């Protein structure tokens, strides 16, 4: 992904002619600015939340990745849920990439409407007639887009903006952007809950006061307030295929990474970060609570309207995928599932779940 909004420790190096490239997998984010002295790295740590490092961009006998706490000046604030974490924003910029802080949104995630996203970012790929703020540089471009909503949308070639040959990839894939936005907030949420549960456990010896927070987390985990798509989304780099291939798959070949990209991001909307270390290493009691609530929602025992959008078929599919692919489910997950199971999945042939 490519962002040209001037921010970070090396903001003077970033511009629409020299954007910052961001790469990520499920636990690590890397920022690369051609010509800048430092490579920027953020890692999701199950105890601490985001941990930040830099790597000097000059030839050395022993390259060193150094912990850098200066990054927390921005990466630990109300915008990251008050814990060390990830930032994703969308603001208008001028021709040089300087942000107009009065113009946008400082916490973008999967709930943010597409019309509000990607100010300060390049965006490549197809999205039909859904407007967004990507690829717009300077006041005139933003004004033009108000009259012509598809202005600079649905493009795959960024060479009109800058010299793409200096980057490992010449795209800023719309699918990668959308998954990044889901994931960054998810990481912050996991870190926030970890801190709160640790404190509550020490102070009160129980997590009863966290019920509302756990419910909000569940809604995010299950995409219940996801911004709707009203035209198909198509990436521009093969990212979607690589992402999906990573699985894990259940015995019917289904995976939480299967993308829909027509009316919503995922076919089975439950975050793939349930497989991440940050989730798996949540404080035990907290994780148990989350699984309990998750099971109530997916099994239909909790029929609250906020989860209605998921639909019965998706709930059942997610329940089954998790049963097949997660090793750390509590015992109650098994038994209560058997009655509605499709015949293809025989409980007797299930892998043993500790
Ligand atoms: C002046 C504020 C600021 C500072 C200081 C800062 N960042 Fe960021 N960083 C941002 C913003 C804002 C974003 C969101 C992307 C954007 O709008 O450019 C971001 C995004 C990132 C990302 C992409 C994923 C994520 O975690 O949000 C990485 C990686 C990153 N920064 C690393 C670092 C590192 C490493 C440092 C310290 C060397 C650092 N940043 C210091 C503001 C800052």
Distance 52 CA to ligand 1 centre (A): 9
- Measuring CA to CA, how many Å separate 226 from each of 104, 217, 229, 317? 19, 13, 9, 19
Question: Whole-angstrom Cα distance, residue 337 to residue 209?
Answer: 29
Distance, in Å, from the CA atom of 163 to the CA atom of 98, rounded to the nearest integer, reads: 20
Q: How far is CA 178 from CA 113, 188, 297, 315, in A?
A: 11, 16, 25, 22
What integer is the mean pLDDT of 12-39? 97
Closest C-alpha to ligand 1, atom 9:
8
- Mean pLDDT along residues 129-155: 96
Q: State mean pLDDT over 287-315.
A: 94
Residue nearest to atom 15 of ligand 1 (CA): 88
Instruction: Give the pLDDT band (50/70/90) at residue 347.
Output: very low
- Calpha distance 57→39 (Å, rounded): 6
pLDDT tens-digit readout, 213-245: 999 999 999 999 999 999 999 999 999 999 999
Distance CA 241, CA 186 (A): 22
Q: Is 8 in the pocket of ligand 1 (CB under 6 A)?
A: yes
Mean pLDDT of the chain: 93
* Dihedral class, residue 125 (left if φ above 0, else alpha if ψ from -120 to 50, else beta): left
Q: Which CA distances in Å does 155 have to 28, 158, 231? A: 28, 8, 15
Is the distance from CB of 311 to CB of 263 less than 8 angstroms?
no
Give the residue-averaged pLDDT of 182-190: 98
156: closest CA among 140, 139, 137, 169?
169
Torsion of CA 21, 23, 29, 33, to 10 degrees: -20
Residue 159: partners with Cβ closer than 8 Å, 6 or more residues away? 170
- In angstroms, what is the C-alpha Rg of the chain? 21
Which residue is it, tokens 């779940």? Answer: 353
The least confident of 84-88, 123-127, 182-186, 333-337 is 333-337
Phi, psi for residue 69 in degrees, rounded to 5: -85, -10
Q: Is the pLDDT of residue 348 over 90?
A: no
Q: Which pLDDT score is estimated for 333? A: 86
The closest alpha carbon to 173, from 126, 116, 107, belongs to 126
- Closest Cα to atom 43 of ligand 1: 8
Q: Which of 87, 106, 118 to mutate to test the pocket of ligand 1 (most atoms within 8 A of CB)?
A: 87
Residue among 34, 39, 32 nearest 68 (CA)? 39
Atom of ligand 1 nearest to the CA of 40: 35
Q: Is it the case that residue 170 has pLDDT exceeding 50?
A: yes
**Which residue, among 226, 110, 223, has the nearest Cα to 175 in the 3D structure?**
110
Six token digits for residue 95? 């021709």
Residue with CA at minimum distance from ligand 1 atom 3: 8
CA 338–ligand 1 middle distance (angstroms): 46
Tokens of 134: 């990507």
Distance 268 CA to ligand 1 centre (A): 31
CB atoms within 10 A of CB 181: 24
> What is the Cα–Cα distance from 266 to 281, expressed in whole angstroms?
24
CA distance 78 to 95: 28
Q: Do 130 and 146 touch, CB atoms closer than 8 A?
A: no
Ramachandran quadrant class, 182 (left: phi over 0; alpha: psi -120 to 50; beta: rest): alpha
């Amino acid at each position: 992904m490519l962002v040209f909004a001037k921010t970070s420790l090396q903001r003077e190096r970033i511009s629409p002619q020299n954007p910052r490239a961001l790469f990520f997998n499920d636990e690590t984010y890397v920022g690369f600015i051609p010509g800048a002295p430092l490579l920027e790295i953020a890692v999701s740590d199950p105890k601490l939340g985001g941990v930040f490092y830099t790597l000097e961009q000059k030839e050395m006998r022993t390259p060193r990745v150094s912990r850098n706490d200066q990054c927390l000046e921005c990466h630990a604030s109300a915008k990251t849920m008050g814990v060390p974490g990830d930032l994703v924003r969308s603001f208008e910029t001028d021709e040089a990439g300087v942000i107009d802080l009065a113009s946008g949104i400082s916490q973008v995630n999967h709930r943010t409407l597409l019309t509000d996203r990607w100010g300060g970012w390049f965006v490549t790929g197809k999205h039909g007639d859904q407007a967004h703020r990507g690829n717009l540089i300077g006041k005139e471009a933003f004004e033009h887009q108000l009259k012509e909503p598809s202005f600079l949308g649905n493009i795959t070639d960024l060479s009109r903006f800058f010299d793409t040959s200096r980057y490992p990839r010449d795209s800023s894939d719309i699918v990668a952007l959308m998954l990044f936005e889901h994931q960054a907030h998810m990481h912050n949420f996991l870190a926030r809950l970890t801190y709160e549960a640790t404190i509550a456990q020490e102070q009160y010896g129980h997590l009863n006061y966290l019920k509302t927070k756990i419910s909000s987390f569940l809604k995010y985990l299950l995409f219940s307030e996801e911004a709707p798509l009203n035209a198909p989304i198509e990436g521009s780099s093969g990212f979607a295929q690589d992402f999906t291939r990573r699985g894990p798959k259940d015995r019917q070949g289904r995976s939480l990474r299967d993308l829909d990209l027509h009316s919503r991001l995922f076919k089975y909307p439950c975050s793939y970060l349930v497989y991440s270390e940050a989730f798996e290493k949540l404080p035990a009691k907290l994780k148990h609570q989350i699984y309990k609530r998750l099971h109530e929602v997916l099994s239909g025992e909790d029929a609250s309207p906020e989860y209605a959008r998921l639909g019965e078929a998706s709930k059942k599919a997610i329940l089954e995928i998790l049963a097949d692919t997660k090793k750390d489910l509590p015992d109650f997950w098994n038994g209560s599932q058997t009655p509605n199971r499709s015949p293809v999945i025989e409980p007797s042939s299930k892998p043993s779940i500790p």
